[in-house]
Amino acid sequence: MGSELIFRGHEAQHQSDEYQPKPPKPWLAVIRPVRYLLREQRFVFLLIGIAIATLFFSLIPSTSSPSPALTFSGESYVRHDSISGESFLTAESTRLVPHRVIGAGKVPLGLKRKGLRIVVTGGAGFVGSHLVDRLIARGDSVIVVDNFFTGRKENVVHHFGNPRFELIRHDVVEPLLLEVDQIYHLACPASPVHYKHNPVKTIISFLLFIYFFFDISTNVVGTLNMLGLAKRVGARFLLTSTSEVYGDPLEHPQKETYWGNVNPIGVRSCYDEGKRTAETLAMDYHRGAGVEVRIARIFNTYGPRMCIDDGRVVSNFVAQALRKEPMTVYGDGKQTRSFQYVSDLVEGLMRLMEGEHVGPFNLGNPGEFTMLELAKVVQETIDPEAKIEFRPNTEDDPHKRKPDISRAKELLGWEPKIPLHKGLPMMVSDFRQRIFGDQKEGDSTAF
């Protein structure tokens, strides 16, 4: 019987054709980026970048200490410490828009105030040149616009060569295109001799429209041009008006709420009514076009750089006494005026421009003097033997003039500091040097 071989190994197993993936490896999602960084040496550059960033931010000084109130101005915040220039910016832009006080903030240590770009019309004149001095000293860039009708290059020649100073010979009755942050509009003949010499020129320095006899032309002039510039570039506009808007006042002292007593057809009306109309224009642009305006009503001001023969009482008395001529008193000499030194006025103008109040504000010294009292102060300062000569009074000459400055004290924190007996000698020193050229060493005309 044949033997039968029987295979008793493992029975054949069924082979499947289906794909079976390998089980996922743990931490593969983490290991793969690490291998990539190490292989391509990107990890080294990442560490270097982190180190540089850490070093940069560690060098920025801490600014956690509180600082004075900040004012929002366009794209920047301005910290105001004082009107004399203690201000700092936290951004590059200095375009002025309506200010909003936002409370305490922080300013990086060592960050200096970025100066504003300011135009001063009439900046080569008496008051304008002193204002330019203060603005330049504060660190601003100043553009002086003057036609030199009453202004003098000598008043600003010491700024020639300063990269932050520009001088443009230009009449404001013609349009002017500039990019500025603030406009101080001082351009106008302010003394009786000058504005009576060319009354039409005086009034068109301010008026909105003047319609000529021919009825064919309308000129856009003076204040309108400057207000239009302020509107176009978003600049703040300060108008220097005058106490002459009160005319021959029936209220004494004069408050800003007093509407005045002005002769609209008198020889002084070109100046009086021109300023009144300029105030009207400024307020209309403020209400209708949203222009930020400030209005200052300036009372009698004296100091260095006044025109020597401009017909104003202080300059007349000083020049006449220095020349050994009789001091001319018009009328009985009992008319009163209030005299402020020019540095006090400049301080008031700057406070008004930087403040939040439109005005108008009286800017003057409430100390009141008759013309005879003023003549005696000039005698005491220059020549006790100086003579006084009386002449008939001029037309529409106000009998009394004294400002009520309570509003400026309250809202601007301003009041004059220099009395007449201290300010007059500085003016006399300047006049003596300009008339005779013999200024003594140590004399000062600066304020």
Question: Residue 385's domain is classified under what CATH number?
Answer: 3.40.50.720
pTM: 0.69
pLDDT for residue 16: 54
CB-facing half-sphere around the CA of 380: CA atoms within 13 A: 10
Q: Which two tokens stand for residue 267?
A: 């020889």
Rounded Cα distance between 152 and 381, Å, is: 27
353 assigned to some structural domain? yes
Listed residues 81, 104, 127: the one ending a domain: 104
Let me know whether 129 and 221 are in one domain. Answer: yes
Q: Is the dihedral of CA 222, 223, 226, 228 positive or negative?
A: negative
Q: Is the pLDDT confidence value at 49 over 70?
A: yes
pLDDT for residue 98: 38
Instruction: Average the pLDDT over each of 106-120, 306-320, 401-415 and give the range with the smallest value.
Output: 106-120
Let me know whether 73 and 202 are in one domain. Answer: no
pLDDT for 231-243, tens place per residue? 999 999 999 999 9
Let me know whether 247 and 309 are in one domain. Answer: yes
Number of other CB atoms surrounding residue 240 within 10 Å: 26
Let me know whether 268 and 407 are in one domain. Answer: yes
Listed residues 54, 83, 104: the one ending a domain: 104
Rounded Cα distance between 263 and 285, Å, is: 26
Let me know whether 308 and 357 are in one domain. Answer: yes
Let me know whether 151 and 236 are in one domain. Answer: yes
Phi, psi of 303 (to 5 degrees): 150, 180
47 assigned to some structural domain? no
62 assigned to some structural domain? no
Let me know whether 177 and 91 are in one domain. Answer: no
16 assigned to some structural domain? no
271 is known as an active-site residue: yes
Let me know whether 98 and 226 are in one domain. Answer: no
Rounded Cα distance between 84 and 113, Å, is: 12
- For 275-331, give the secondary structure using H, E and C: HHHHHHHHHHHHHHHCCCEEEEEECCEECCCCCCCCCCHHHHHHHHHHCCCCEEEEC
Q: Is the pLDDT confidence value at 142 over 80?
A: yes
401-422: average pLDDT: 96
215 pLDDT band (50/70/90 cuts)? very low
| Residues 69, 48 contacting (CB under 8 angstroms) | no
State the amino acid at position 428 in one-letter form.
V
Q: Is the pLDDT confidence value at 21 over 70?
A: no
Centroid of chain to Cα 286: 17
60 assigned to some structural domain? no
Let me know whether 86 and 124 are in one domain. Answer: no
36 assigned to some structural domain? no
Let me know whether 339 and 406 are in one domain. Answer: yes
Rounded Cα distance between 348 and 241, Å, is: 13
Residue 88: enclosing H or E segment and its boundaries? Answer: strand 87-89
56 pLDDT band (50/70/90 cuts)? confident
22 pLDDT band (50/70/90 cuts)? low
Q: Which two tokens stand for residue 8?
A: 């008793």
42 assigned to some structural domain? no
Task: Identify which of 320, 299, 274 has the alpha carbon closest to the alpha carbon of residue 431.
Answer: 320
Parallel, antiparallel or unpaired: strands 218-220 and 336-338: unpaired
- Give percent above pLDDT 70 in the chain: 70
Instruction: Average the pLDDT over each of 21-30, 78-87, 138-147, 219-228 and give the range with the smallest value.
Output: 78-87
Instruction: Please report, in angstroms and rounded to a whole number, the separation of the first and last CA atoms in the chain.
Output: 146
Let me know whether 79 and 198 are in one domain. Answer: no
412-438: average pLDDT: 93
The parent domain of residue 98 ranges over 69-104
198 assigned to some structural domain? yes
Q: Which two tokens stand for residue 386?
A: 């100086």
Q: Is the pLDDT confidence value at 417 over 60?
A: yes
Parallel, antiparallel or unpaired: strands 327-330 and 388-391: parallel
Strands (E), 207-310: 209-211, 218-220, 236-242, 293-298, 301-302
- Catalytic choice (184, 271, 285, 302): 271
Highest mean pLDDT out of 28-32, 281-285, 290-294: 290-294
CA angle, 14 as apex, 13 and 20 as ends, to 5°?
110
Domain count, the chain: 2
In this predicted model, which residue has the larger pLDDT, 265 or 325? 325
Let me know whether 94 and 126 are in one domain. Answer: no
Instruction: Average the pLDDT over each of 50-64, 172-186, 328-342 and give the range with the smallest value.
Output: 50-64
- The residues near 206 (Cβ < 8 Å, ≥ 6 apart) are 188, 221, 222, 223, 274, 275, 277, 278, 281
Q: Which two tokens stand for residue 190?
A: 């302010």
